[in-house]
Structure 1
């Protein structure tokens, strides 16, 4: 067979393969991920953070079997390690079991969602407290199924808090890729007025 013909056939086969992958990705996004993208309202009542005040604190509300989590996992691990090196403390919530979690998330202490947050819109999402123990942010990581340092809502909030600036984004409408959380059977009863950490 002519070498040019063979190269042309290989090139066509590669183009068909790439087109097939692109179509499969588009189909998955449109038919599967998009089904989880919905308008939601986050409203976080003031509750004590998971640790004693004195440092910026972040809680990852997570669910491993959620297709929305896959697009955030690498970023969450990288961001957690980066900000932990700057003194930010992290915990996880939502899914109690570590099954299917990345190594970074599975090492974090578990913090049950407070009963006053029983209507939490879903996961993956996040809650952030300032160093004085005041709730600064509740909401999604980003406005889509994938998150990076460039698209993250979290980065500017944590950076502002580390710089000593005030942030108060505890009620917001958003469109985000979220899965519903299971019933909050292990929710903590937390005094919403307290600024001190519960034991």
Structure 2
């Protein structure tokens, strides 16, 4: 009889261990193994830009630890430095911490995501305002997991705005490499 009780306990412990492993694997898959290249609707509700209107402004929306960042980091650094020299103002939003941010983003002022944009579909992405303060573009840097000057959606928008032309790409369906944005607590 004693051996039967022991066998029951061993089976119960083994069942709990297997259930724990199944839960851990399910949690891991839901958190880290998911399609990052997905359809998304960017619907940019017009909000005031991070700075006073007078210059073209770009808001980098970034999520640290996102696998989609890797193909964008070099471009974001280069593009930010190049257009800053032409008078474009830059800020960053998304996750607040400085870890794993491209060098150019670490130096930018943090601008909290407006509550009107609570349904923002993910990062890395960007919002761009014209010098008149009107929202001109919301969306991804490109349609893939990497971005360059040749594949960028951002380059033509900034160039058009700097040339004084109007741009209105504030609502678009796209397929892009995006991660969910996890807002940090204030003070982080």
Return the TM-score normalized by structure 1: 0.75
Asked whether 1:75 is paired with 2:75, we answer yes
Aligned residue number for residue 156 of structure 1:
156
Preserved contact between residue 145 and residue 177 of structure 1 (Cα < 8 Å): yes
SS of structure 2 residue aligned to 1:160: helix
Unaligned ranges ≥5, structure 1? 1-31, 187-199
Preserved contact between residue 92 and residue 108 of structure 1 (Cα < 8 Å): yes
Aligned residue number for residue 63 of structure 2:
63
Aligned Cα root-mean-square deviation (Å): 1.6
Deviation at 1:102, TM superposition (A): 2.0
Deviation at 1:64, TM superposition (A): 2.1
Q: 1:77-92 maps to which residues of 2 (within 5 A)?
A: 77-92=77-92
Unaligned ranges ≥5, structure 2? 1-31
Larger Rg: 2
Mapped partners of 2:42, 2:74: distance in 1: 24
Aligned residue number for residue 18 of structure 1:
none
Distance 1:90 1:104, change over 3 A: same
SS of structure 2 residue aligned to 1:91: strand
Deviation at 1:34, TM superposition (A): 8.0
Mapped partners of 1:174, 1:38: distance in 2: 8
Mapped partners of 2:35, 2:114: distance in 1: 28
SS of structure 2 residue aligned to 1:35: coil
CA offsets 1:88-112 (integer angstroms, 9 cap, x no match): 0000000101111122110000000
Asked whether 1:169 is paired with 2:169, we answer yes
Distance 1:138 1:129, change over 3 A: same
Q: 1:85-164 maps to which residues of 2 (within 5 A)?
A: 85-164=85-164
SS of structure 2 residue aligned to 1:76: helix
Return structure 1 stretches of 4+ with deviation > 3 angstroms: 183-186
CA offsets 1:118-141 (integer angstroms, 9 cap, x no match): 000000000000000000000000
CA offsets 1:55-112 (integer angstroms, 9 cap, x no match): 0000000012000011000000000000000000000000101111122110000000
Aligned residues: 155
Q: 1:9-24 maps to which residues of 2 (within 5 A)?
A: none
